[in-house]
Each structure stands twice: as structure tokens, then as C-alpha cells.
Structure 1
Amino acid sequence: MPRLSVEQLSQEWSLLNQRFSEQSRRFVLSFCIRHAVDLTETFYTEMLADPGATLFLSHDQVQGRLSQSMRRWLEGLFDSESEGALTRIIAEQKKVGEVHARIDIPVHLVLRGARCLKDRFIALLQEDCELSDREHLDAARLMSDTVDLAMEIMSHAYSTSHDRNSRNEEAYRLFSVTQNIASEKESQRAALFDWENQLMFDQAVGQPGEHLPRILASEFGLWFRHKGAHAFEGAPEARQIIHAMEQIDDVILPLFDSDSAERIARLRELRETVKSIHFNLDHLFEQNNALEAGRDVLTRLLNRKFLPVVLNRQVSHARSHGTPFSVLALDIDHFKQINDGYGHEAGDRVLQQLASLLVNSSRAGDYLFRLGGEEFLMLLVDTGLDGARRVAEKLRRGVEQEVFRLPQDRTISVTLSVGVACFNGHPDYQQLMRRADDALYQAKHSGRNRVVVVE
């Protein structure tokens, strides 16, 4: 469908309504209100029979919220008597299409749902003996044509949003490693060596295999699983590194409890596997030494552009692997007073120093964003609510105790408000962001310099 303005879409919707009598339009509206529960239940029964739909609709919270939304959508779809109502209806279809793109619901599932609704509507209509054949036909055509037009608008919004997300995904893949590819290479080689040295020490002092440090949970493992593997996506070396780390954790380390002869064989096998990781890692960096980072100019943290890409990937990873992750929404208290009292250069210094503090307080696999102004976001991979609460409180205390240095040798104290939310299984990352923002709002409006956690 070509890009149409709201006015053009309103005109098209209005022309559709004009093909049917006012009596038919009112009947369809009242019929949908009367049978909204039946239509909604049929929709979910049919959709959940499709294996592809269960990924998006099986979550209890999704079903509860979407059942209500579906009923409101059905009732609102035919309440289009005024121009203002048409504008509202069109805006709603666009919003639904954008949400579908954000959580990556396949278009065919949406169209299947629409077909199920139309089929059930007609079946219910046929049970109504009070209508004439002409009235039956008009009601069925009005319902079918209206839903089809709604699907067109949704699909266009979906396509536009999905294309934009795809471009951001590719841009992030190219820019996700670091601002300096050489320093990242050395940093991750050092992290791999640190894990290897710790492992060798632990096994030398007789630690049992179950207590030896796992590479997937190491700084290097976190970085590669959540960042490196994405940046080098599609490269065979990336798959080989993941396979080698799984081999170390699942096969080699558990066998370190065997006798000394077997232990030496395991050490040799471990050494060769780690060497293969080093070799493949070096090759990946050599292939991608032209990468640059898409980062905030002032703080060098990731910018808002890549937030949807990162969060969508974390949601997908968490849902497929059953692992938690959490987000911290952070805001500098009374930042405007710093700018007004000391100047914008001083404000920039505070932002840069806070960014350094956040970087030093995060792990290699975590993500840090500057969302704009004094707002930051930290994404903690493989971290549940209790762990996120501890990190947030440690950050809050660290900022409170930090001496922030301003131009002309001046210093200032700064405090931080933090909202914490943990992924709860909902496929739309915006729901997680809203919960973190709500928690931050509570922290700001209940005295600042505190952490509020959404249970």
C-alpha cells in the first residue's frame, strides 16, 4: 500500500462506510459489542493452535492484557461516525502494526487472526434469524471490508517500522564492538587469559571440577555471548568460539575430578581448545578492523538509536534460554541546577565522570546507554531482580561518595535516582522500559537519591 496521510486514510475509511447504510453500521457495532467475548475467545483458541503463535501469546500477562485490548479494538473498529473517531481508529491501527514489528510477530499470524475473526463473525451472524438475507450480506461485507482495511494500515505501519528496525539492526551489528577495535581486541584477549590463569590456579590447588570457573560466565564469556557473537554474526569463527566454550564448560571441566593421568590429558585438551578460541578471536578482529562505534559523542556510551536492537535481542535470548536480565533507569538528581549554577561545561564533566563510573561498575557483557540529557540506562545480562537491586544500590552509594571535579579546580557532590525492573517474559521490551521508568519516577518523587525496584 502506498504511503497515505491520515487525511487520505480517513477519506478511504469514510468512503467504505458510505457504501453501507447507517442501520448496517450501527448493527455491526452493537453485534461486535454483544459478541466481543466470544470473538476474542475464538481468536485465542484458533491462534494458540498454531505453534508459531504460542511464542507470542502463551504468556499469561500477554493473554490477560491482549484479551482486553482485543475486545476494545473490535468495539472501537466500527465506532467511526465522526472524523475524530476515524483519526483515532487509524492511529490505533498504526500503533498496533508498530508493536507487532517491535516484537517481531510474523505478518501471516496477524492475517490468520483476522481471518479467524471474520469467520467467527459470519458464523455468529448466521445464527441471527431476525435479519434478512440482504442485511446478513451487508453486515458480513461491512465487517470483512473494515477488518481488511485495518489490516492494510497495520501492515504498512509494520513494514515501515520493521524496515527501520532492520536498518538499525545492521548498523548496530557493524558498530557494536567498540569505539576502538584495537583496544577491544587486547581487552578481550586479556580477559580470556585472566580466566585461563584463574582456572589453572584453581585446579592446581585441587578444586573439584564442579567448582572450577566456567568460561561462559567469565568476563570474556559474557562479552562474547552478548556482544561479540552479535557483532560477528554469521562468521564461522564466531560459531566455533561458542562451541569451544560450551565444550569446555560441559565436557572438559567436569572431568577434572578423574585421576592424575586423565587430569593431564584434560589439561592438554583444555589448552588446545583455548588456543582455538584465541586463534578464531584474532581472525574475527582482523576481518573487522574497520568497525567504528555508533556512540554518544560526549560519554562514548551507546546512544538511543541502538536501544531497540539490543533490547529485542535480549528479550529473544531470555525467552529462548530461560535466563533473566534487568534494566536500570538512571537519572542525575537536580542536574539542571548544575548547568545553571556552574555552566554547561561543568555539566558535561559530570556526565563524563558518571559515564566512567558506570563503565567501571559494569561487566563486559552488560550494556550502557546515554538516553539523552542526564538520563542513562544500564542493561544487566544474566541478572535477576535481587542481583539488579544490589548493583543499583552499589551504584547509588558510589555516586553519592564520588567527588565530581569541575573546571577551575572546583568539586561538587552528585546523587543518583534509579528505577529497576527485571524481564518478566513479556515479548515487548517497551513494557519492561515502562516499568523501569515508573520505578525511576517513584524514586525521583519520593525524595531522590534512592533505588526503587518493580517487583
Structure 2
Amino acid sequence: MNQERIEELAAQWQAICGQFSETDLSYSFEFIQQHVTVLVAEFYRQMMQEQEASYFLSDELVRSRLKNALQQWLLDSFAVPFKQDFKAIVAKQLKVGEVHARIGVPSWLIIRGIREIQHLVDQLFQVAEYIGTGNDSLTQLLNRRYLNTILIREIQFSRKNRSPLSLLAIDADFFKEINDRYGHAAGDLALQFMAEVLLESSKGSDYAFRVGGEEFLLLLVDSDWNRAQMIAETIRRRVEDTPIRSAEGESFKFTVSIGAVQYDGHPDYQRFLDAADAALYSAKNAGRNQVYLAK
């Protein structure tokens, strides 16, 4: 990378920072300072779930050194607007890339790592602005306020990088019967359980939404058909097999129907949503308590 390219990237970085007020930038830096240890720990937890990644990160000494380096990288990156050393930080990243190349760390693993950090930072900020913003008060999942923005961003990333993207539309079967028979408090417990299952069945870089009464969406990033089907079946079976106990001590079970779609490259996010809804409708028409894969 020549000096001209470094200056170009530094200018782009500076322009992005210029879109935000000094107060916002200060808050972001302070937030990263407070959570950097948690971010890095979660990052490596997610990365070690990948068999290929564990091959490169298996040595504890290497992992320990990388953790410290990653923490410093995050702090340096968010401190750039105040130090105004954009060219220096870009040049530093070039050196890091050269080291990765020399020791044989594949570029896809580096990109995956950066992407995991991006999602972890996003989700931490979402938690920080939880009250009265884009989270559902009952399940603490994201609600429709974030849906369009996140879909547009993930579609753009998928188109640019040719990475797979999947969407699950999930709906509780005969949910009204739960409310009618066991009461709305029991229905709330069922919805909270569904949210728990979605979060436990996915990974940190995925997005779980409650978009209606008993309607949920799970956006699976970097996910092909195999992963989408596996997660959908995991969710369906877990809900079907787990009894819910109401505050009155009554126990009941329920099921879910799931429609799964793979992003087809079309830029319109609404088309992606409509395809998931159609797949969910097909699952319900086929008898409920099943996964329908729209291919």
C-alpha cells in the first residue's frame, strides 16, 4: 500500500468521524473503554466456535497476546478523532496486515474477525440505549425500529462481499389459545421463552427481532442454507419439547412455524422480508410446527 492509498483511507476515516459531534465521539470512546475487555472476550468466544479459526488460535499464549493487542487496537481506533492521527493509524493497520500475511493467517479469517467486532460493538451500543428506543420491553429483543436499517446494511454487505445471508420468520402456533386458556401472563412467559431460544440458538453477530405479537425474525449473517436449516430446526424442536410453567403452576407446551429464505441478491430489503413471510405462510398451510425452506 503506497502513501497515496494511506492518505486516501485516512481521509475517508476522518470524514466518517466528521459526521458526528465531539460529544458523540467522546461518549463512544468512553463506552469502548468501559467494555473493551468484554468485547474482546466475546469476540474470541465467537471465533473459537469456528473450526478453521480454532486452528490458528489454538495456542493459549498466542490468544493471550492477541487479546491484549486487540484491546489496544479498539482503544486506538476510537481515540483517533481526538488525536487526529488518521494516517498513523492506517499505516499501523498496514503493518498488522503484513504480520498476518507472514504467519499465514488467511484474509477471510481477518475479515470475519473485523465483522464480529463490528457486530459486537453495534449490539453493545444497542443495549446502552435500550430504554425507550429500539428494544421490545417484554423480550428485550430488537423491534421494528431497527429492522429496516439493519436489513439494508446487511444486504449491502452481502452484495459487496458475496457473503450468504438468511432470514427466519417465526410465529407461535395457535398463540391466542394460550392467552385464552392460561391467561396473558402465561402468554408473556411463552414469548420470553421464544426470545431466549432465538438468542441461544444463534450467535452474537446475528439479529433477533420481535416484530409483532407472537411474530419474530432472526437475521442470520454469513449463513448458508445448511446453517439456516440447522438453526430453524433447533428452534422448532426446543420450543416443541419444552414445557412452560405459569405463575399458577400450570404447565403447557406450544409449537412454532418457521419460514426460511436465503438472500437472492436483490437490493430491495422489502422483497427479502416478503419472501420470509411467504415461507412462513407456507409452513402454516402445511400443518404448522415445521420449517419451510423457500428455495
TM over 0.5, yes or no?
Answer: yes
| 2:205 aligned partner | 365
1:297 to 120, 128, 137: 137
Secondary structure of 1:349's aligned partner: helix
Alignment check: 8 A CA contact 1:350 1:405 kept = no
Query: Identity across aligned pairs (percent)?
Result: 37
Task: Give, in whole Å, the separation in 1 of the partners of 2:161 and 2:129.
Answer: 30
Secondary structure of 1:421's aligned partner: strand
Q: Which is helix-richer, 1 or 2? A: 1
Question: Are the structure 2 counterparts of residues 358 and 242 from structure 1 closer, same or farther at C-alpha, using a change threshold of 3 Å?
Answer: farther
Higher relative contact order (CA 8 A, sep 6+): 2
| 1:406 aligned partner | 246
Question: Are the structure 2 counterparts of residues 184 and 327 from structure 1 closer, same or farther at C-alpha, using a change threshold of 3 Å?
Answer: farther
Secondary structure of 1:202's aligned partner: coil
Task: Give, in whole Å, the separation in 2 of the partners of 1:363 and 1:349.
Answer: 23
Report the alpha carbon displacement of residue 332 of structure 1 after superposing the two structures with TM. 0.6
Report the alpha carbon displacement of residue 183 of structure 1 after superposing the two structures with TM. 9.4
Q: Return structure 1 stretches of 4+ with deviation > 6 angstroms.
A: 180-184, 234-237, 239-248
Q: Which residues of 2 match residues 262-301 of structure 1 at below 5 A?
A: 291-293=128-130, 294-301=134-141
CA displacement 1:354-375 (0-9 Å, x = unmatched): 1111111111110010001000
| 1:331 aligned partner | 171
One-letter amino acid matched to 2:210: R
Report the alpha carbon displacement of residue 385 of structure 1 after superposing the two structures with TM. 2.1
- The answer to whether structure 1 residue 191 and structure 2 residue 47 are counterparts is no
Task: Give, in whole Å, the separation in 1 of the partners of 2:197 and 2:94.
Answer: 32
1:355 to 173, 177, 195: 195
One-letter amino acid matched to 1:189: V
Alignment check: 8 A CA contact 1:303 1:371 kept = yes
Alignment check: 8 A CA contact 1:330 1:416 kept = yes
| 2:290 aligned partner | 450
Q: Which residues of 2 match residues 186-335 of structure 1 at below 5 A?
A: 187-192=38-43, 194=45, 202-203=58-59, 251-253=98-100, 255-256=102-103, 291-293=128-130, 294-335=134-175
Secondary structure of 2:284's aligned partner: helix
Question: Are the structure 2 counterparts of residues 289 and 386 from structure 1 closer, same or farther at C-alpha, using a change threshold of 3 Å?
Answer: closer
Secondary structure of 1:339's aligned partner: helix
One-letter amino acid matched to 2:103: F
TM-score, normalised via structure 2 length? 0.65
| 2:223 aligned partner | 383
Secondary structure of 1:408's aligned partner: coil
Report the alpha carbon displacement of residue 242 of structure 1 after superposing the two structures with TM. 11
Alignment check: 8 A CA contact 1:370 1:376 kept = yes
Unmatched 5+ stretches in structure 2: 1-23, 106-113
TM-score, normalised via structure 1 length? 0.43
Task: Give, in whole Å, the separation in 2 of the partners of 1:343 and 1:303.
Answer: 24
Report the alpha carbon displacement of residue 292 of structure 1 after superposing the two structures with TM. 1.1
Question: Are the structure 2 counterparts of residues 443 and 193 from structure 1 closer, same or farther at C-alpha, using a change threshold of 3 Å?
Answer: closer
